[in-house]
């Protein structure tokens, strides 16, 4: 199911912060820790160091110091650093909502501590007008803050703006709206009917118009990753390509199961049709060659958008992205095999960058968490084979010649 059972600071949000037992010196947060992962902090340390979700308590370690050297050798050129920062920005959005519920602002809130070290600032909070909850934010490069550390120009690779989208918070008042979108994806495998989809798409378009698509990034966790994927796909259909980072994107839905059964039924029907003596219109080899050459030329031109997906195989919400495309021996239809061949030969074997944790958390609540993506010692493997689910998600971009218009809700 695509429901986020342990989003970023859900533990605090859901009231799962366990009371400290008299004989124990530990405070345990179940399924929390900035997106999952039990966080254990000694009670005395927690009081001395601050809130468990303070940046200096549960945030990344060994960060490069922000100084003028960033101009010469930018940390943003390191993909691991960029992944870590994107995850921190999503954590900031989770905390923005919790700060709002606790009536905290920039001076006393937890959220600002998760973007200030990277010299960014929030310029727009995405608010669901139905319940007033914050589900996303636009963060922009903070030039004045950078100048205070003698960083005169924006480091190479650092985006001008980042749109960060959170997942589900299992706490009132936002829980109802979050779960509605979870169920929307579960049933239809689409979030286009959501008010939040419309708001996120509008914010992304505004950032692209202001800074250009090459200077904008989108990042989302779990349900937020589902929104991020769909709004970026919408722009990609229009030829606008934005860098996209998807952490634990939802991959399970009833629609997927129905589609799988439909594909199997279609495969069996084609086998039956092939055995019948039906008269088929012949296509000349020249026409077939011209059509395939045209498809190759068009797909080479359109194949520019490559999203980054971060998956933990122990997380059943997103692990299906790691399933390879079926081969002929697996019962794939001729049409599926043709699409797979085109994705490999024409698109150059790259439809997405799928990173899978090699030594990540094994328990589901931790495996679905956000904290793992900025933790020290994170080891990722790049999946080189075609993913069945990724190919299906991106098929509308690479196999449809017509340019579609943005969905309206």
Q: Is residue 408 part of a domain?
A: no
What is residue 26's predicted lDDT score, i.e. its pLDDT?
38
For the stretch 319-343, pLDDT in tens is 888 777 655 444 455 555 555 555 4
How far is it, in rounded angstroms, from Cα 371 to Cα 247?
Answer: 11
- Structure tokens, 388: 């069945």
Closest to 239 measured CA to CA, from 192, 303, 297, 293: 303
Query: pLDDT confidence of 113, banded at 50, 70, 90?
Result: very high
What is residue 407's predicted lDDT score, i.e. its pLDDT?
44
The answer, yes or no, to whether residue 120 has pLDDT greater than 80, is: yes
Q: Is residue 126 part of a domain?
A: yes
What is the CATH number for 88? 3.40.50
Lowest-pLDDT range of 57-61, 245-249, 384-388: 384-388
For the stretch 280-315, pLDDT in tens is 444 455 555 555 555 555 545 455 788 999 999 888
The answer, yes or no, to whether residue 388 has pLDDT greater than 50, is: yes
Closest to 117 measured CA to CA, from 164, 64, 46, 50: 64
Q: Is residue 322 part of a domain?
A: yes
Which residue range forms the structural domain that includes residue 213?
Answer: 66-255+304-326+348-401
Q: Is residue 321 part of a domain?
A: yes
What is residue 323's predicted lDDT score, i.e. its pLDDT?
74
Mean pLDDT computed over 43-48? 40
The answer, yes or no, to whether residue 220 has pLDDT greater than 50, is: yes
What is residue 49's predicted lDDT score, i.e. its pLDDT?
66
Give me the DSSP letters along 317-359: TTGGGGPBPP-GGGT--HHHHHHHHHHHHTTTT-S-EEEEESS
Q: Is residue 88 part of a domain?
A: yes
Beta strands in 180-305 (DSSP E): 216-221, 243-247
- Structure tokens, 272: 């039956």
The larger pLDDT score, comparing residue 58 to residue 264, is at 58
Strands 134-141 and 120-127 turn out to be antiparallel
| Total domain count, the chain | 1
* Other C-beta atoms lying within 10 Å of the C-beta of residue 319: 18
The answer, yes or no, to whether residue 30 has pLDDT greater than 50, is: no
For the stretch 160-217, pLDDT in tens is 999 999 999 888 778 888 888 888 888 877 888 899 999 999 999 999 999 999 999 9
Place of tokens 């009536």: 103
Q: At what angle do helices 388-398 and 223-237 cross, to 10 degrees?
A: 30
Residue 9 CB-half CA count within 13 A = 24
Which distant-in-sequence residues (6+ apart) come within 8 Å of 189 by Cβ? 253, 255, 256
Q: Is residue 396 part of a domain?
A: yes
Mean model confidence pLDDT for the chain: 75
Query: pLDDT confidence of 253, banded at 50, 70, 90?
Result: low
How far is it, in rounded angstroms, from Cα 101 to Cα 96?
Answer: 9
Q: Is residue 138 part of a domain?
A: yes
């Amino acid at each position: 199911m695509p429901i986020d059972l342990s989003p970023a600071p859900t533990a605090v949000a859901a009231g799962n912060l366990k009371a400290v037992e008299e004989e124990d010196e530990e405070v345990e947060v179940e399924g929390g820790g900035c997106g999952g992962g039990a966080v254990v902090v000694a009670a005395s340390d927690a009081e001395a160091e601050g809130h468990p979700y303070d940046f200096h308590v549960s945030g990344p370690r060994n960060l490069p110091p922000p100084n003028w050297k960033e101009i010469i050798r930018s940390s943003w050129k390191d993909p691991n650093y960029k992944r870590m920062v994107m995850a921190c920005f999503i954590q900031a959005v989770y905390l923005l909502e919790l700060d709002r519920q606790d009536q905290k602002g920039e001076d006393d809130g937890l959220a600002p501590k998760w973007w200030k070290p990277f010299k960014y600032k929030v310029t727009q909070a995405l608010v669901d007008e139905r319940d007033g909850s914050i589900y996303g934010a636009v963060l922009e490069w903070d030039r004045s803050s950078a100048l205070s550390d003698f960083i005169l120009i924006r480091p190479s690779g650092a985006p001008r703006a980042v749109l960060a989208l959170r997942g589900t918070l299992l706490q009132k008042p936002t829980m109802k709206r979050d779960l509605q979108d979870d169920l929307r994806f579960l049933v239809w495998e689409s979030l286009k009917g959501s008010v939040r989809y419309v708001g996120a798409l509008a914010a992304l378009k505004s950032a692209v118009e202001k800074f250009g698509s090459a200077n904008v990034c989108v990042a989302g966790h779990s349900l937020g990753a589902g929104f991020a994927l769909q709004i970026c796909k919408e722009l990609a259909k229009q030829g606008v390509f934005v860098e996209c980072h998807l952490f634990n994107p939802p991959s399970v839905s009833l629609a997927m199961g129905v589609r799988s059964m439909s594909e199997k039924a279609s495969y069996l029907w084609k086998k039956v049709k092939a055995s019948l003596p039906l008269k088929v219109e012949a296509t000349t080899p020249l026409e077939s060659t011209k059509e395939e050459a045209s498809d190759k030329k068009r797909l080479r031109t359109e194949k520019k958008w490559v999203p980054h997906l971060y998956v933990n195989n122990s997380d059943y919400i997103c692990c299906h992205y790691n399933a390879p495309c079926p081969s002929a021996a697996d019962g794939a239809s001729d049409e599926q095999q043709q699409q797979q061949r085109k994705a490999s030969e024409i698109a150059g074997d790259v439809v997405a960058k799928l990173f899978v944790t090699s030594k990540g958390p094994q328990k589901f609540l931790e495996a679905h968490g956000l904290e793992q993506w900025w933790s020290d010692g994170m080891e990722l493997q790049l999946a080189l084979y075609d993913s069945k689910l990724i190919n299906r998600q991106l098929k509308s971009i690479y196999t449809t010649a017509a340019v579609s218009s943005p969905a309206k809700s």
